[in-house]
Structure 1
Amino acid sequence: MAVRWRNVVPLLALLVFAGADMDWSKCPQQCKCKWVSGRKAAECTNSSLNTVPDNLSTEIQILDLTGNPLRELPKDAFSLVNLINLHKLFLRDCNIEDLHKEAFRKLEILIELDLSGNRIHILHPGTFRENVRLRILTLSRNPIQKLADGLFNNLTFLQTVEFSDCQLSHIGRKTFMNVPNLKTLALDGNNLTTMKVESLQSLHMLNGLVLHNNPWNCDCHLQAFRDWTIERRLYAQPTACAEPPVLHGKLWSDFEFGRSCLQTPDTLSCTQEQQLK
């Protein structure tokens, strides 16, 4: 028995030493590790990091990398460094241009992701496929031009999506499929001229839709969507028209479409000017 204990004691000492060495609060020099709102957080802001730190504890739940020149997020950017227990991830103003569609793979309990103020041009369908618990997604101030079909499919916990001040000119009809809890969608400050009702009509919980500061063309192509926002009480000032010239600057609620704004299977045609209220 004594022989056995002589073998066990060194092993226990080694385990104790290893556990102490793995203390989550022992951060690399560029970061500060502390409790934030009851979660284990690593704040690594403005630290000249060009890659995701590989020496943080796997217990970290909040990671803030704001202001670092990351430039790209490759495949498995966080799971490869064992940061798979993240609840909140902040990547604001990181000069990110290349976002791999599997950069956030295995982050299955992520609830908030902020990618605002980067240089992301393209969001690939499936980018957030494994982030099944995601609730808040912020991508404002990125030069994104298109939200493709399938981008947000089956994100059943998603509640808030922000694309303010991007360069959006197109949103697919199947961009938001099976996103039953989306409540707030911000699309202000983009290049949207028209929109199809089909793009958003499945969002039955939507109660906040921000659309101002877009060059809306208030012709018959926009009629169904404009009417839908008003009927659903989603319209909010100062959403206004840029075109046609007769309606430039007019709020959506200040005019009615004429009866000759007729819809056909393939196109919409306008044969009568819109009527000001």
Structure 2
Amino acid sequence: DPGVRSVLAYWLSLCAADSLFTCPSSCKCNSGSLEVDCSGLGLSSIPSDIPTNTRIFLFLNNKLSTLPGPVFSNLSALQRLDLSNNFLDQLPQNIFSDLGNLTELQLRNNSIRTLDKDLLQQMALLRQLDLSINGLAQIPSGIFDDLPALRLLSLRSNRLQSLDRVTFEPLVSLQQLQVGDNPWECDCNLRDFKHWMEWFSYRGGKIDQLACTLPKELRGKDMRMVPMEMFNYCSQLEDENGSTVLDNSGPPCTKGSPTPSKSKSGTEPEVEPSVGCPQKQRYRPVSVRRAIGTVIIAGVVCGIVCIMMVVAAAYGCIYASLMAKYHRELKKRQPLMGDTEGEHEEQKQISSVA
């Protein structure tokens, strides 16, 4: 009977699918959605018997601290990977190289301090990336070059002090960026990224508050609300220290970075801080105060000009009203002056007749 054969074929296909999707021990699985959930089990390593056709793999709230290189090599069908709330501190360069179908990667709340610039290669379908609550101090340039489909990126609660706009320009599909709760230094190193943020907001992107930590004059203020005039000193700084900035190919200057040994000369010890950070600490607060003073002076001058214009307008109105009143009085007196002249003429005629 054809009907019986079709039913038997259907059940055989289901049995074959179930046999191919074998759930690892202690984990929960869903053969319909091809999901494997090994969350909250206190595991320190990823099970080796994950089905190769798994599409969703959840490994939250465990004790995972390292990832062996080939751990995901057989999971090319994976679309969602969540490794949040673990103890990962370093990610191998090619750890995700076989996950070409991945659309969501969650690495929230780990101890990741550095990222390799080639970490996210071969992931052109990735749409969501969560790197929040880690120890990232910088984002390497080029790490997002192969993510044209990325829509949501979270970098919240790290140790980021500055970002480079060149790193984010390849994210043509980005719709939401989360950068809050970082110790941002709103200086020249963040100026170009401020331009990118304004462009990103202009084209409809959503970004949370990028609150400044330093300098103290801008502490707590959103970087997007800081006037660009506050960074006019950056051009002066680049002109005066152009050779030093161009020759500096090392890591970004930070407060904790050691000063080079060549600066420790016995003749000029006072020049030592400006070699590692080319007068950054000296110029920044002075320039900020100068910019604030310029804004205050401009406001006072504009106020004085406005007051003078109001006084001049009031004086003109008063003068016009007085002149109008004077002319009205003058017109009233002109007929009376004509009558007196007629009386004088009559008196002269009477005296001549007599």
Structure 1, 180-189 or 147-156: larger mean CA deviation? 147-156
In structure 2, the partner of 1:273 is 288
In structure 1, the partner of 2:45 is 72
1:186 aligns with 2:154: yes
CA distance in 2, matches of 1:230, 1:172: 22
The residue correspondences of 1:215-234 to structure 2 (distance < 5 A) are: 215-233=183-201, 234=205
In structure 1, the partner of 2:298 is none
TM-score by length of 1: 0.75
CA distance in 2, matches of 1:27, 1:203: 37
CA distance in 2, matches of 1:106, 1:27: 15
The amino acid of 2:233's aligned partner reads S
Structure 1, 25-34 or 229-238: larger mean CA deviation? 25-34
The amino acid of 1:117's aligned partner reads N
**How far 1:154 sits from its partner (Å)?**
2.6
In structure 2, the partner of 1:9 is none
CA distance in 2, matches of 1:165, 1:248: 22
**How far 1:33 sits from its partner (Å)?**
4.6
In structure 2, the partner of 1:212 is 180
> Larger radius of gyration, structure 1 or 2?
2
8 Å contact from structure 1 (residues 154, 177) kept in 2? no
**How far 1:273 sits from its partner (Å)?**
1.8
Structure 1 unpaired stretches of 5+:
1-15, 40-60
Between the aligned residues of both structures, percent identity stands at 26
> Which structure has more RCO (C-alpha within 8 Å, separation ≥ 6)?
1
CA distance in 2, matches of 1:162, 1:137: 7
In structure 1, the partner of 2:95 is 127
> Which one has the bigger helix percentage?
2
Secondary structure at 2:193's aligned position in 1? helix
Q: 1:30 to 1:258 in 2, by over 3 A?
A: closer
> Which one has the bigger strand percentage?
1
May I ask how many residue pairs the two structures share in their alignment?
231
In structure 1, the partner of 2:69 is 101
- Aligned with residue 30 of structure 1, among 26, 30, 33: 26
In the TM superposition, what whole-angstrom CA distance separates every residue of 1:104-124 from its partner, at most 9, and x where no partner exists? 112111100000000000012
CA distance in 2, matches of 1:25, 1:235: 40
Structure 2 unpaired stretches of 5+:
1-11, 249-277, 296-354
TM-score by length of 2: 0.59
8 Å contact from structure 1 (residues 101, 123) kept in 2? no
Secondary structure at 1:273's aligned position in 2? helix
Q: 1:83 to 1:28 in 2, by over 3 A?
A: closer
Q: 1:134 to 1:260 in 2, by over 3 A?
A: same
8 Å contact from structure 1 (residues 237, 251) kept in 2? no
1:90 aligns with 2:58: yes
1:248 aligns with 2:219: yes
